[in-house]
Each structure stands twice: as C-alpha cells, then as structure tokens.
Copies of this chain bind each other. A is one copy, B any other.
C-alpha cells in the first residue's frame, strides 16, 4: 500500500519525479467558495524554487504552477483541485555516470531493494523536487487558514552550530519582513549574516551542512486535534518527518522538557477577563497543545535537518553488484537545505491545520 497521500479531509496526493515531465498534486476536500489567489500560490513556490541565491542549488526551474481543475471564476468549487508544475531543467544526462552505483546516504539502494527497479535519473521520486507540489497545496491550505485568522511562521534558527536567539513574542509581520530580506531566511539579521557566510564557505569546500527550522502558529482556536492517535502534534510531527532530510521533531518544551520537573513544566492557567473566551497560561511549555488538542495558545515546534548527501567530494560506495566503487563529486545541489525548506515546513503545517480544522467540525453537531 503506497503512501503518496496526506491528510484525511483536506487530502493531498502528489505525483512526479525529479527528471520526469512534471510534478503535481491533487487536493481533494478543499471546501467550496474559497478565493484561490494564484499570485499567492506562485509567490510561495518562488520561496522554494531552486536557483534563488548563491547558497541554493543552481538547477533552473521557474516552477510555474498551472491549475487544471477545481477552480471556477477564482473560487474553489468543492471538486478536486489539480495543480501541475512542469519540469524544465531535468538534465538527466548529468546522472549517466551513476547508473549502476548507489550514492552514499541517498535512497538509491532502498528504492532498488523495495521496487526492484532503479530510476537512475537523479533522485526520481525520492528527490526533494516533490516538495514543490506540497508547497503549492500548502499555499491553498494557508488561504483557508487565513480566512480563519490562523497564521503560520517558520524561519531558520540554526545552521550547523550557529543558533539564532529566541525571538518569541516579536511581531510576526516584522519577523517575516526580516526573514525575506535575507537569503538564509533567519529572522535575526546578525545571525542570518553569520549563517550565510558559513554556508558559503561550506559550499566552497564542496561540502554541505544541516540546520534547524522553528515554527510558530498563531490564532489557532482551541479544539483542533483528534486523540488518541491523530493528536495535533503527532500529525505535525509526521508531516515534518515526511520532509526530505528531516531527522527530528519536537514541540513546546521538546527534548529539553524531559530534563524538567513537573513543578517547573506545568503551565498555569490565568484567570479570564469577564468577557474573554481565550485560554491563557503563564508559560507555554505545552507548545499550545494539551492531550493532542490545541488550547488556543501559540503552537510552537522545531525541525532538524541533516546535511544534504550530495557533496562535491569523491566518495567510496558500492554498485548494484555489491562491489566497491567510487562516486565522483558532481551534479547540482544545495549546500544547506534549510533556507528553501522554510516554506515547506510552513506548507506541511498548513496542510495539517487545514485538515484538523475540517475534522473538528464533526466533534459536536
């Protein structure tokens, strides 16, 4: 049983390989009458597209999105929305030298083991190119959430061992402005500068480096999340872990929270003003989620990305026959994925939230 769909009520199915004709996505379950802002969808894709700066891959893709169905006179119709993104700069021949060789820490070997077939034109389906389809679908989820007053903001908070300071509490639109003003997408200008210098030096070494992205969701009402398995943070975790190169997920207090005592970690609810319906706690170790259900506070989580496996060094490896082989450092790649992954993290978060928002409608009649 294959696994190319995500979500239950706001459900996407993606298709396409890195070196095929096109990639794309069907969204089944987008409610009718939503304004579909094509410029916004394209602007989201532009944040993920390759070739945007010196610290991203130089593959050239305009990532121009086309709508094939589900939208009439600018509004969703309740029928499946199909989005298509043609591939333009496949250059499969770049990969001719790898036909028979498993690249270290790539998915070449496991696809062969699982499917008995080897699409040697780059990563095929395992390539992060597939995430463009997620970003397009996530943009529509964001439009749905915006209508409900829900905002999602992610940015790069570490590259290698360079960590950004905690920016919690700052105004989202200001942070967004700063983030988009630098090519590494960190909302702290000084750290951003340091990160860019570092990535550039890593690139010059022909090497790559990992990093982390933090995300905050504001305006989410209490009640989203479906215990006991489809808890809001469990779905967010799965969404993030399904992104290429992600090796870790934590929300609220995260791993550090495991070192605390209950008397330190408990978030104390604050009395409400007479006319307020909002639940507030003095601290937010819970990351806005209790028992798997949003409580109305900011939802916070962090995602760890390993370094990209494609490096410009020659590496030892094996071929399909199991024999020792050497692979040359060649091809186009990102020295660090996190700058382009910011919008992917946001897109996947938006897909989870849109899905859980619709699911929650059936909790009470």
Contacts and interface: CB of A to CB of B under 8 A. Distances in A.
A158 B258 contact: yes
Contacts of A28: 2, 4-5, 13
Contacts of A226: 1-3
A271 interface: yes
A286 interface: yes
A359 B161 CA distance: 39
Q: How many copies does the complex hold?
A: 4
Given A257-B304, A361-B361, 19 more contacts: A2-B9, A2-B79, A4-B79, A5-B13, A5-B229, A15-B79, A16-B68, A34-B365, A104-B281, A110-B295, A207-B261, A208-B263, A209-B260, A231-B241, A234-B241, A248-B250, A258-B306, A262-B311, A270-B318
B209 A255 contact: no
Interface in A232-252: 233-235, 237-238, 241-242, 244, 247-252
A145 to B, nearest CB: 11
A115 B32 contact: yes
Nearest to A289: B110
A58 interface: no
A167 interface: no
A268 B104 contact: yes
Interface in A269-315: 269-272, 276, 279, 281, 285-287, 290-296, 304-311, 313, 315
Contacts of A111: 78, 291, 293
A2 to B, nearest CB: 4
Given A26-B26, A29-B362, A313 B263 contact: yes
8 contacts: A5-B5, A32-B117, A104-B281, A105-B290, A158-B258, A228-B242, A244-B291, A361-B362
Nearest to A81: B15
A53 interface: no
State which size class the interface on A falls in.
Answer: 35 or more
Contacts of A70: 15, 17
A4 B250 contact: no
A306 B124 contact: no
Contacts of A21: 66-69
